[in-house]
Amino acid sequence: MSAVPREPASEGVDSFSNSTVQDGRGRRKVGTTRIETPPMPLPPATFAPARRQRGRFVNPSGRGAQGLPSVLRWLATRRRGAWPSSVADVHVAPPLPRLDDGSIRATIVGHATVLVQVGGLNFLTDPVLSKRIGPASWLGPKRVRPPAVPFEEIPKIDVVLLSHDHYDHLDRPTLARLARRDDPLVIAGLEVGAKVPSRRVLELDWWQTHQLSARTRVTFVPSEHFSGRGPFDRDRRLWGGFVVETAAGTFYFAGDTAEGAHFAAIRERFGPMTLSLLPIGAYLPRWFMAPVHIDPAGALQASLALESQVSLAIHYATFDLADEGYDAPPRELARALEQLQGEPPGSDFRVVPFGEATVVARPGPAPAPDSTPAVAVLEAR
């Protein structure tokens, strides 16, 4: 299996339903007014592989996550919003076994776990089905809502997209269950494979691409975040997001990320996204979370920069990880959407009930089904 660099392109049940900001394509918004300005040039090393300094990976911007003094300050001054002890989702029909009708079908299982079905392939992003996230089954934040799609109803998974190694994204028990049942190909960043209980792991650098089939390829793309599962491995493993190009359109899974020029870079290389999965939770207090997590307004700006046909909110209302309340992220996203003038590309940003499928079809005639082999076999790391 090959991973090659990409060349730049030319161009509870929940019904959740002003400052100056700038998106990556040079559009400034002040209140409800859009001011067109020339696009901002991307940094010179935008499409370069990930950098390491003294054995640790570095964000594209060079910014790092907060250190121990800031962590202690946050813990000592927390003003936590209200969270329920448990939330029940209405059980809906199980997902389809497969889909190859020229559309992209996305079903949010919970947090950053999303089933994406396209071109006859089943993708699962950051699979986390455990009751707690942490180094032991009894330690760590407890989920307040069960997975909207139980493990037994998740169809056979072909590919797992693993954004980084944090416990709320890399859940070894869930990955082990998937490996035993489906043996999917797991695609992750550099050095992450050692933490994955599977023999089929492909590690990619930023902007590296893996061809899944004749018409489906996956590229690992940068994000602004960090990594680590203990006190001594900070930034030893690479983090990022994924762009998946298919005959039915292109979808983007952001994983965890702060704001940055990478959204504009992704749009520049791949064109507008057909579907984007963007995080909106774990963002308060901003002085502490801003270097690693976008807030809902920032997620909307990312969607605008990506010119996403449809964006779905993820990474909220499952684990209590920060100081905002349980229902704050959707409300803040709705407030940000209300500030938009008109309906610019990227403004179709949805908060959908967990477990219900969202189907996105790219404008134009539906492509013919992909009859090529779906996933090559990877026998070793």
pLDDT given for residue 121 in this prediction: 98
Look at residue 262 in the predicted model and tell me its pLDDT.
97
Residue with tokens 């209405």: 90
Return the HEC string of the chain.
CCEEECCCCCCCCCCCCCCCEECCCCEEEECCEEEECCCCCCCCCCCCCCEEECCEEECCCCCCCCCHHHHHHHHHHCCCCCCCCCCCCCCCCCCCCCCCCCEEEEEEEECCEEEEEECCEEEEECCCCCCECCCECCECCECCCCCCCCHHHCCCCCEEECCCCCCCCCCHHHHHHHHHHCCCEEEEECCCHHHCCCCCEEEECCCEEEEEECCEEEEEECCCCCCCCCCCCCCCCCCCEEEEEECCEEEEECCCCCCCCHHHHHHHHHCCCCEEEEECCCCCCHHHHCCCCCCHHHHHHHHHHHCCCEEEEECCCCCCCCCCCCCHHHHHHHHHHHCCCCCCCCCCEECCCCCCEEEEECCCCCCCCCCCCCCCCCCCC
Q: Hey, what domains does the chain have and what are their CATH numbers?
A: 96-361 (3.60.15.10)
Q: What is the pLDDT of residue 366?
A: 63
Is-contact 122 157, C-beta < 8 A? yes
**Amino acid at site 353:** P
Degrees, nearest 5: CA angle 57-60-64: 60
What Å distances lie between residue 118 and 38, 360, 362, CA to CA? 36, 10, 12
pTM: 0.87
- Residues constituting the chain: 381
pLDDT tens digits, the chain, 381 residues: what are they?
Answer: 445 545 444 443 333 333 333 344 443 333 333 334 456 788 888 999 999 999 999 999 999 998 999 999 999 999 999 999 999 878 888 999 999 999 999 999 999 999 999 999 999 999 999 999 999 888 899 999 999 999 999 999 999 999 999 999 999 999 999 999 999 999 999 999 999 999 999 999 999 999 999 999 999 999 999 999 998 999 999 999 999 999 999 999 999 999 999 999 999 999 999 999 999 999 999 999 999 999 999 999 999 999 999 999 999 999 999 999 999 999 999 999 999 998 999 999 999 999 999 999 987 766 666 655 444 433 333
Q: Residue 33 has what pLDDT?
A: 34
The pLDDT assigned to 365 comes to 67
The pLDDT, as a whole number, for residue 22 is 39
Distance CA 3, CA 205 (A): 9
Looking at residue 34, its pLDDT comes to: 39
pLDDT reported for residue 41: 81
Pairwise CA distance, residues 341 & 344, whole Å:
8
